[in-house]
Each structure stands twice: as C-alpha cells, then as structure tokens.
C-alpha cells in the first residue's frame, strides 16, 4: 500500500495542520447487515499504517454487531477547507488486545469511565440511569487505574481500495483509485468525476 498510503499520509497531515478543520480524524464508517442493509456514522481514526485504519468503539454497538456478521466496511473522509475526499473500502478485523490496551490507557479518565458506563447503542430508559452507572463506575475505580473494559475494543479496516478526490472548478474534479489485486499489488486508475 506504499503509494496510496503516502498520499493518504500527506493529505491527513495537511488536514491536521489546518486551523479550519476541527476534527481532522473524523470519518464516516459504513457497515451493513449480512442482508445488505447499510448504516453509517462518524468515528475517529486513531492510528493507521500499511496494515490498516483503526478506530475504537464498544462491542455492544450496532456497528460492531454488523461488522461481526459482515466484515466489509467503508470509510470516507471529507476535509472541506482542503476540497479533498478519501474513500477507503475493505475487510475489518479486531485490533490486537495490546493495541487496544495501549490506546485505552492514553484516554482521559472521564472517557475511560464512560467506556465502562455506556452500553453503546442499547436502549436507555433515562439519562438518570446512565448517570447512575457513571457514578457507580467512578466509585468502583476511585484512586485506581481504570482497566480497559472487555466490551471496548478497536477495529482495523484493511483496505482493498482507496480513492482520492480533489475538487476542481466547474465540477471537473480529479479522481483516482487504487485497487489491491489478487497478487497483493496496488494498481492505480483514473475515474471520470
Ligand atoms: C465527531 C464524532 C466522533 C465520534 N467518534 C466516535 C468513535 O471514535 N467511536 C465511537 O464508537 N463513536 C463515535 N462517535 C459516535 C458515533 O457516531 C455513533 O453515534 C456511535 O458510535 C453509535 O453508533 P452505532 O449505533 O451505529 O454503533 C462519534 C461521533 C461524532 C459526531
């Protein structure tokens, strides 16, 4: 993935350096049921390399339930001030436990408590119930380091295609896509805008 990764890294660095982009790591994540019913939402890219693009979430969530039964997913970044979009498609795998432990340990304590208290995407009868769970977890871990909850983990999207899009005047945009062929070699082609 050397060449698409180089372009991804360069654009991502530009987005991170841009004052007008509040959440450069925000990306849409599309998943689907085995029957093909799609859903999407925003998550944050926490790390990436030639092995894939990683985000963290709760394994009780809808996205995780869909990934467990249909491992194909798509990511999309749009950085409006840069006039650039990147689409990534691929298979999803769980990150290694040690990677999840290490990222969890770097989070703010309140976010760590939140990960224990939230049964993400499950029905909630009232805000008070959630706040009571937060208070219960704060009491439980008072004065101690907070371990990663077993239901909180990361997913890695292992790209098989990456498309780059740059806005140009009169909608005559530039688009090019990289596909990983059956031999694992990345091949580039242009697309009409
Ligand atoms: C800017 C932004 C960043 C977010 N980052 C994450 C994230 O990294 N992980 C996550 O689980 N949810 C994140 N969310 C919340 C998700 O969009 C979503 O509401 C939640 O994960 C439940 O989705 P699901 O029911 O489809 O699983 C973020 C939302 C926004 C708006």
Q: How do residues 58-100 score in pLDDT, each as one tens digit?
A: 999 999 999 999 999 999 999 999 999 999 999 999 999 999 9
**pLDDT above 70 as % of the chain:** 99
- Provide long-range contacts, Cβ within 8 A and 24+ apart, for 76-80: 76/27, 76/28, 76/30, 77/12, 77/15, 77/26, 77/27, 77/45, 79/11, 79/14, 79/15, 79/18, 79/21, 79/24, 80/21
How far away, in angstroms, is 13 Cα from ligand 1 center? 22
Does 23 have pLDDT greater than 80?
yes
pLDDT of the residue at 2? 72
Q: What is the pTM of this model?
A: 0.96
Q: Please, what is the average pLDDT of the chain?
A: 96
Which of 27, 33, 42 is the pocket-test mutation for ligand 1 (most atoms within 8 Å of CB)?
A: 42
CATH number among 1.10.8.60, 2.40.50.140, 3.30.420.40, 2.30.110.10, domain 2-190: 2.30.110.10
Domain ranges of the chain: 2-190
Confidence tier at 132 by pLDDT (50, 70, 90):
very high
Atom from ligand 1 closest to the CA of residue 64 = 27
């Amino acid at each position: 993935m050397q060449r698409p990764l180089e372009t991804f890294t360069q654009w991502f660095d530009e987005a991170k350096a841009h004052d007008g982009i509040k959440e450069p790591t925000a990306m849409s994540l599309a998943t689907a049921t085995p029957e093909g019913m799609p859903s999407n939402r925003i998550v944050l890219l926490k790390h990436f390399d030639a092995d894939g693009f990683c985000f963290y979430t709760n394994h009780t969530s809808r996205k995780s339930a869909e990934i467990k039964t249909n491992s194909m997913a798509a990511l999309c970044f749009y950085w409006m001030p840069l006039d650039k979009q990147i689409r990534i498609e691929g298979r999803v795998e769980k990150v290694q436990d040690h990677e999840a432990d290490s990222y969890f340990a770097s989070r703010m304590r309140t976010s760590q408590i939140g990960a224990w208290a939230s049964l993400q995407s499950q029905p909630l009868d009232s805000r008070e119930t959630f706040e009571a769970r937060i208070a219960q977890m704060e009491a439980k871990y008072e004065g101690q380091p907070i371990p990663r909850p077993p239901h909180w983990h990361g997913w890695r999207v292992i790209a098989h295609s990456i498309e780059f899009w740059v806005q140009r005047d009169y909608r005559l945009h530039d688009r090019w896509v990289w596909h990983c062929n059956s031999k694992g070699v990345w091949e580039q082609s242009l697309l009409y805008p």
